[in-house]
Structure 1
């Protein structure tokens, strides 16, 4: 069956140079075929016009001209996508249409699935290396579980690289930019024989830090990464092909700075311990920071994959087999001050992943066609962490205790008094907040999953097609922990009966009458009418940072999850005219349970009685989350795709929701993992291009979102049902233009500019320890201008000058309560202006 050929700009904002060519009065199919964009978002080759899915495609040419170096930069041309770099090079979060999570915790898989050449990358450390020799990037918006075997409840980012060619060729490029940026890339491809082709590619990316650590006298937030990629392509016949890929990339850099946003009451203590300035208070865009040791990120990401495609008659069989590893070692000065509070926060994570996908597709001349596939996933994670107090943490703890008690207590007095009441006045001497104390953590995690998926297309008429899809998934996870806390103060139960005399003494000293003081001291868990605790020591509980840990598995908690789900979709697509298609879709999506592989993993509240009955209770044991249950997504969507002589338009309107959205929020001392009851978003997406005159093409992409927590009773900030989720701008827009001037010699001069706008939005859902509504005073609005000018010579040589964030827009990507600094807020500032020049030669 001959498909209708279609060409457009990248579906959201990224321009391709072929658009003006198509806008001409081209009559021959061959001319159109040379420029057509074929996408595989539905695991079939289709044009953007035909594919009844909300998908954005960014071409290799756009990536080059816009200087898009990795997935972090991609969001500037895809406004429905948001990518956030968090506290290290190993933590990046992807969000589509306001839905997404997965960073900061190796046990939480992303809701946005990332695939490179059909291979699932399960964790962010495996996703953010410099882009390989890219052919295109497809961003699928909305649940995609019926076509992808693992975790696509919010959407998919699919990176497609160039396969080896049987014609010798290649390219080399060198970039120099501000902050002494050096980026070098090279690739070569060609035949080994009539049936075997190869390609080799390598990249190097280095940059000085754009921030200054004034305490250590060095630049920070640098970039130092490189990678290599080799491929072999066997094509012994028109019916059989085999593609083998091996890749390796390494990151060794110092990332990521966090600036002080609100300087709370601990700021003066930090400065005193630092002997002057410990933080650059409330000045995030000075890019001046103070640390007492450099944060390090060493990440290796490598793997092999093989894809076999075999056609027999009207059927085609595809097999993709892959094995991948990620080894990540990070150590961070997590208090982000030059005082030695957190002396070590080290994480060593090893991830091993094996995947196998097998699918059979038909291409019959009749009205029915199908795709049927199976997917197997096997992953093991070994994670070892060390979190130790620094040399000044005892002095810091002493200052906190004095401040909390109004000067009536100090650490030495606490040690002696509590020790005496426990039977030995010296047993706690010099033991509270001791340097080198903390946690040693070990996690072992395994995940085995399989799925069976398929779609069936029925051409009701030549112009109307119905498509139904399904995916049955079974997902099993097993995890165990071995965590030991040496933080002595955190093991003290300040409500214990033996401390009644001490509590009574403090109440009497505060002017409470004798009878009331005796009652309250004996009943420390009573809540007073004003909502405060009856225990005068309760203010010290916030300093019990690392309480003893109840390890898993135990007699009550087996450390296992077992989820299964049947996701399905139904879609109708109608060709109103050769250049005008409409579609309507209902689809569901699924993501299995996520595991809390962190020191904040706590038993579920429902398990606490059984734990107490089994005699497993540890001091200061509270409820929390060992895991978050599955996410179940659904979307109702209608869309229109149109191509005219000099313009292209795509519009989608949708209502999308996720029940059980897995929220992972940093609270200042740890992460709160919880399922939201339901989060939903109504949205409209528009993208279009127009060529008013042949050399000039204009493009505009706008995303409107109206998100809401329909139900979220147990969030880290209480019941926030009915509120607007943080971090999701109501309006995102990418707009710009490309102008191509062709000289008589055939050389070209291409100017390109794009502007990204995101409306003002709250950065977090709330801030623990701050008044209600305070978080709303800290918002983000993005106004980013990018531009480039490229000269292309007929010899294959290109020279480009570029600038990203030319207006030096300043905004905070996210904020969080400062680590162990109650009343202070930290945040990650946006990257400043970057610019440079690139020389490229293609042959």
Structure 2
């Protein structure tokens, strides 16, 4: 594992970073903003920031949990328009996206759900106005005007809404107001970006207020598709949100919200990873891999350059038409070379309606949140990310489609008794979610020329001829057949091997014609959360939640790959011959890759699962003085199990038997976590700080990784018995653990420190630092019954989890001085995020490492011109830092250490004009 380093450039530049108590949430003073704050200038009370993280309104400084509250002003200053941009202001949070923005992943303290499988729920749950969004990627879109965002760190397994194992992001949009007002914003930036946002709010009588907001955003893509003369990773989206707020009395409030958003965008391209991207992954440039498994063997082997003859797959790609420029250019050159006619076109619709009732009875308050939402996404792709036509999804209703229809109902009743000594809360939650995924993944028109070459390369790369049938010409066949009518390289089976290769070469534009997976989930939960004020300074919080989760699953398949069953019948007899089993199995596997076979055509499956889980929390908190809170807590978290919505998990392709398919093979188990935390918070009018120490132990951790051919979904557990390295070998049958010795498979532990300083009303510094050792156990197994770990994951034991840098620092400076006496103000805002090194691949393969880096965003302008206008210039990624979100195994060529990467956004800049009325 590479040495961890941390660049503190961000702290050196700014001297501060984002905190638990963000700058915009600080109390405002009527003092002259340019003056230093002293007792003569400002109210002596401590700033009050109100949050609802525990189901009731509380002062943030009094909440004994790790939480960041980001105010509307901070969101505006930082340019936050979707949850990805929260990375800059929350050091423990990382939001990224990969092959589809619908699969965007949020991680807290290094823990998150990764991969493109919608069957896995998010470890970090996202709520908008109290309504659960089915997957965190659903929030990777325009959010419109916001009131605040609360980021809760650690498992959320007690209160209302959907339980989550790693954390929660709660987004609160701006409400209607009973005073007439409106706004309009216009932004123009590089990549021909145009963003228009506007809204109006007004009273409708004495008891009703209404609000309408809209956002339109269009921008050219960051990638240039050289072959098809288009751009990819563009923006073309809009949002409309309408609200009504009804307040007939002081004790009753009802808010109705309806929203609709649409995206028509091309996403998501990738580039080839060059060895210079992760130079520690090789010893020298002239050492070739020792085997097809060399990617697992570092430091004993090297990673050859993509154009190095030691990488035998490269001549095959070049021979089939791959432009060498794609292989020679820098990892961060955003020219891509896509198969002619293939597209990354995608479409997303997201809409819903919700109603929130709050009714104060005097001694108790009832809250009801009712919501219905629909979300649908389709995403075409050149799925092999090369110019050679190997694998693709054609645009249309079946292009990697996912569709969610979700109804949720939450009820909470809370109040106080015993002279306010007990602050009680009880509630219930119900969710019904219909999930459908549709897929049309097909082998491309050159798969038949490419796939046999993988087999021939394994036999003798010198014989590979991608332009010949079966990737082997007459001369090569003569060599393998042997002279003078000999038995040949494979004995009497040589003709069968040739016939298998020839049939394999016929798999061109075959595969799925429309696979459909349906999953219906019902979630019932009862919960209670109670704060006992033992003394005026000592509180005990006890919470308990019971959750019942049922999931009903069915699937139907349509497929026209008739070559798979032909090669299975032709070569199955050779699987019993030890010297030929690997070769025959390889041909069958490539013929039936991902279980794409006409044997499944018309097959349907059904299954169901049921879970019951108790979760909860216990917190002891103490305020020795008014401005200081000290607490210790234990919490139990849970994330539901489910189904791997991918036919490749039914069985290994070589072993698939449609007569004995067991849909239970698609199941994965629920994830649980035991979390411990000790913390303190101090906040007074000029400065504040917080410190938390945490340890989180995950059992049945749900991991999703792409092994170069298919996605692997596996529960990860530890073993208290030393497995002697058998979990690190190339066998899926060794390294089992006795079920009595199962232990947590992932542990995240470390500390979070955040502080803020406000020497003047116009000047705020903040700083945040997170240290998170988020590591797999030293000895790993693949399930709670001790099943051995999948060999594709054999680099995981004892290592840091992917996309989980050990160190992260964030920092910001806000300066808003008065300009003259007319009320105009200047704006100078800068924030930075610095991370240490980390691996971006969920299988932790060498060559996917990302060096530490610093991102700086900057905004400067003049605000409050004539009490209503502002003009601001801004730059995101000020120093044009190149870095990868995720590096992954290039489909079908990863055995030769050929990787691709989804790049992060380059530098963007522009001007924003604002007006209020």
Q: What is the TM-score of this pair, normalised by structure 2? A: 0.81
Partner of 1:821: 893
2-structure distance, mates of 1:426, 1:825: 31
In the alignment, is residue 61 of structure 1 matched against residue 69 of structure 2? no
In the alignment, is residue 701 of structure 1 matched against residue 768 of structure 2? yes
1:274 to 317, 321, 336: 321
2:510 to 430, 437, 461: 437
2:380 to 307, 327, 331: 331
2:699 to 641, 659, 669: 659
Partner of 1:517: none
3-state SS of paired residue (2:164): coil
Residue pair 1:150, 1:591 contacting (<8 A) in 2 also: no
2:617 to 557, 569, 580: 569
1-structure distance, mates of 2:902, 2:795: 27
Partner of 1:761: 838
How far residue 69 of structure 1 moved from its aligned partner, in angstroms, is 1.8
Question: Which stretch shifts more, 534-543 or 101-110?
Answer: 534-543
Partner of 1:738: 814
1:467 to 541, 544, 564: 541
1:391 to 425, 432, 445: 445
Cα RMSD of the aligned pairs, angstroms, is 3.3
How far residue 68 of structure 1 moved from its aligned partner, in angstroms, is 1.3
Residue pair 2:210, 2:242 contacting (<8 A) in 1 also: yes
Partner of 2:873: 801
2-structure distance, mates of 1:375, 1:13: 30
3-state SS of paired residue (2:320): helix
How far residue 664 of structure 1 moved from its aligned partner, in angstroms, is 0.5
How far residue 765 of structure 1 moved from its aligned partner, in angstroms, is 4.8
- Name the structure with the higher helix share: 2
3-state SS of paired residue (1:491): helix
Question: Which stretch shifts more, 825-834 or 491-500?
Answer: 491-500
2-structure distance, mates of 1:222, 1:366: 55
Partner of 1:84: 96
In the alignment, is residue 787 of structure 1 matched against residue 824 of structure 2? no
Alignment of 1:233-252 (within 5 A): 233-252=245-264
Partner of 2:529: 455
Partner of 1:690: 757
Alignment length (residue pairs): 792
Residue pair 1:13, 1:700 contacting (<8 A) in 2 also: no
3-state SS of paired residue (1:285): coil
Indicate how the Cα distance of structure 1 residues 420 and 639 shifts in structure 2: closer, same or farther if over 3 A, else same.
Answer: closer
Partner of 2:132: 120
Indicate how the Cα distance of structure 1 residues 536 and 307 shifts in structure 2: closer, same or farther if over 3 A, else same.
Answer: closer
Post-superposition CA distance 1:120-153 (Å, at most 9, x none):
0012442211112210010000011101332311
How far residue 80 of structure 1 moved from its aligned partner, in angstroms, is 0.4
Could you say which structure has the greater relative contact order, defined with CA pairs below 8 angstroms and 6 or more residues apart?
Answer: 2
Q: What is the TM-score of this pair, normalised by structure 1? A: 0.87
Alignment of 1:832-843 (within 5 A): 832-843=906-917
2-structure distance, mates of 1:310, 1:835: 46
Residue pair 1:297, 1:330 contacting (<8 A) in 2 also: yes
How far residue 408 of structure 1 moved from its aligned partner, in angstroms, is 5.9
2-structure distance, mates of 1:640, 1:30: 24
How far residue 761 of structure 1 moved from its aligned partner, in angstroms, is 1.1
In the alignment, is residue 725 of structure 1 matched against residue 801 of structure 2? yes
Alignment of 1:89-488 (within 5 A): 89-101=101-113, 103-262=115-274, 263=306, 264-274=311-321, 276-277=323-324, 279-281=326-328, 283-292=330-339, 293-344=342-393, 346-364=399-417, 365-406=419-460, 411-412=469-470, 432-439=505-512, 440-488=514-562
Partner of 2:731: none
How far residue 581 of structure 1 moved from its aligned partner, in angstroms, is 1.0
- Name the structure with the higher strand share: 1
1-structure distance, mates of 2:206, 2:815: 41
Partner of 2:647: 599
Partner of 1:641: 681
How far residue 101 of structure 1 moved from its aligned partner, in angstroms, is 0.1
How far residue 283 of structure 1 moved from its aligned partner, in angstroms, is 1.7
Partner of 1:512: none
2-structure distance, mates of 1:59, 1:143: 23
How far residue 363 of structure 1 moved from its aligned partner, in angstroms, is 3.6
How far residue 226 of structure 1 moved from its aligned partner, in angstroms, is 0.2
2-structure distance, mates of 1:258, 1:53: 39
In the alignment, is residue 751 of structure 1 matched against residue 828 of structure 2? yes
Partner of 1:543: 590
In the alignment, is residue 585 of structure 1 matched against residue 657 of structure 2? no
1-structure distance, mates of 2:379, 2:572: 42
2-structure distance, mates of 1:669, 1:413: 20
Residue pair 1:214, 1:288 contacting (<8 A) in 2 also: yes
Question: Which stretch shifts more, 778-787 or 410-419?
Answer: 410-419
Residue pair 1:182, 1:207 contacting (<8 A) in 2 also: yes
2-structure distance, mates of 1:498, 1:778: 40
Q: What are structure 2's unaligned runs of at least 5 residues?
A: 1-15, 31-35, 275-305, 482-489, 718-744, 782-788
How far residue 676 of structure 1 moved from its aligned partner, in angstroms, is 0.9
Partner of 1:519: none
How far residue 392 of structure 1 moved from its aligned partner, in angstroms, is 2.1
1-structure distance, mates of 2:795, 2:862: 57
2-structure distance, mates of 1:238, 1:46: 20
2-structure distance, mates of 1:726, 1:665: 11
Q: What are structure 1's unaligned runs of at least 5 residues?
A: 1-7, 501-521, 527-532, 768-773
2-structure distance, mates of 1:153, 1:431: 44
Residue pair 2:503, 2:567 contacting (<8 A) in 1 also: no
Indicate how the Cα distance of structure 1 residues 665 and 191 shifts in structure 2: closer, same or farther if over 3 A, else same.
Answer: same
1:628 to 662, 668, 675: 668
Indicate how the Cα distance of structure 1 residues 80 and 216 shifts in structure 2: closer, same or farther if over 3 A, else same.
Answer: same
Post-superposition CA distance 1:570-617 (Å, at most 9, x none):
111111111111111111011110310113222599xx9xx98xx824
Indicate how the Cα distance of structure 1 residues 436 and 235 shifts in structure 2: closer, same or farther if over 3 A, else same.
Answer: same
How far residue 175 of structure 1 moved from its aligned partner, in angstroms, is 0.6
2-structure distance, mates of 1:241, 1:93: 34
How far residue 162 of structure 1 moved from its aligned partner, in angstroms, is 1.5
How far residue 324 of structure 1 moved from its aligned partner, in angstroms, is 0.3
2-structure distance, mates of 1:757, 1:213: 31
In the alignment, is residue 21 of structure 1 matched against residue 15 of structure 2? no
1-structure distance, mates of 2:576, 2:651: 25
3-state SS of paired residue (2:709): coil
Residue pair 1:699, 1:737 contacting (<8 A) in 2 also: yes
3-state SS of paired residue (1:786): strand
3-state SS of paired residue (1:279): helix
Post-superposition CA distance 1:165-212 (Å, at most 9, x none):
111112110111111111111111110010011000000111111221
Residue pair 2:409, 2:429 contacting (<8 A) in 1 also: yes
2-structure distance, mates of 1:389, 1:71: 35
Post-superposition CA distance 1:293-324 (Å, at most 9, x none):
22011000000001111111210111100000
How far residue 336 of structure 1 moved from its aligned partner, in angstroms, is 1.2
2-structure distance, mates of 1:487, 1:456: 59
2-structure distance, mates of 1:603, 1:428: 23
1-structure distance, mates of 2:45, 2:506: 71
2-structure distance, mates of 1:604, 1:741: 66
2-structure distance, mates of 1:453, 1:9: 36
Residue pair 1:495, 1:524 contacting (<8 A) in 2 also: no
Question: Which stretch shifts more, 789-798 or 468-477?
Answer: 789-798
Question: Which stretch shifts more, 20-29 or 384-393?
Answer: 20-29
